[in-house]
Amino acid sequence: MRDVAFEVNGKACRVAVEPRTTLADCLRHDLGLTGTHVACAHGVCGACTVLVDGEAVRSCLTLAVQMEGAAVTTIEGLSSEDGLSPLQAAFRKHGAVQCGFCTPGIITTMHALLTTEPHADEARVREVLSGNICRCTGYMAMVAAVLEARAAYQGAPA
């Protein structure tokens, strides 16, 4: 077992993990943050995407021990108890959620995109979104939701 200390959703944490433990398993099973989902475990589908120092990262292909000193943000960290963020609200309004299993990874990925590129056009949104697989929606509603949510990121500090 190895000790690793990092920040998750703004809080410092220290966990003892086997070196082979993925960040996804550590978040889900050691830290109880089950909003991060594992759907393929080989880095293709994007369901497990979290933010590491602001960058969208596949937590199934990242080892927990690599996180020493890093700041990790999960879907829980992008959500509030009171309601939905503008990005989440746009997803709901446009019917961009069906089974909801891929949704947390897509919200984290699109949040990372709009934070750095708040004026991303449809082609760019689709390009980045193509790294995440959704089996239910066919993506049309998601793209519409992300384009609408851009307004909330424009003018905000990156």
Given the rule CB under 8 A, which residues bind other proteins?
18, 20, 28-29, 33-42, 44-45, 47, 74-76, 79-80, 84, 88, 91-93, 95-104, 107, 125-127, 129-143
Yes or no: say if 19 and 2 are a contact pair by the CB < 8 Å rule: yes
Q: How far is the CB of 115 from other proteins (least distance, A)?
A: 18
Q: How far is the CB of 83 from other proteins (least distance, A)?
A: 8
Q: In Å, what is the CA distance from 119 to each residue of 12, 53, 55, 109, 149?
A: 33, 21, 18, 15, 10
Of 48 and 67, CB closest to other proteins: 48
Q: How far is the CB of 87 from other proteins (least distance, A)?
A: 9
d(CA 101, CA 99): 6
d(CA 21, CA 64): 6
- 133 CB contacts (<8 Å, ≥6 apart)? 39, 40, 44, 45, 46, 47, 102
Q: How far is the CB of 142 from other proteins (least distance, A)?
A: 7
Q: How far is the CB of 92 from other proteins (least distance, A)?
A: 4
Of 55 and 82, CB closest to other proteins: 82
Of 66 and 155, CB closest to other proteins: 66
Of 67 and 96, CB closest to other proteins: 96
Q: Strand, helix or coil at 72? A: strand
Q: Strand, helix or coil at 6? A: strand
Of 136 and 152, CB closest to other proteins: 136
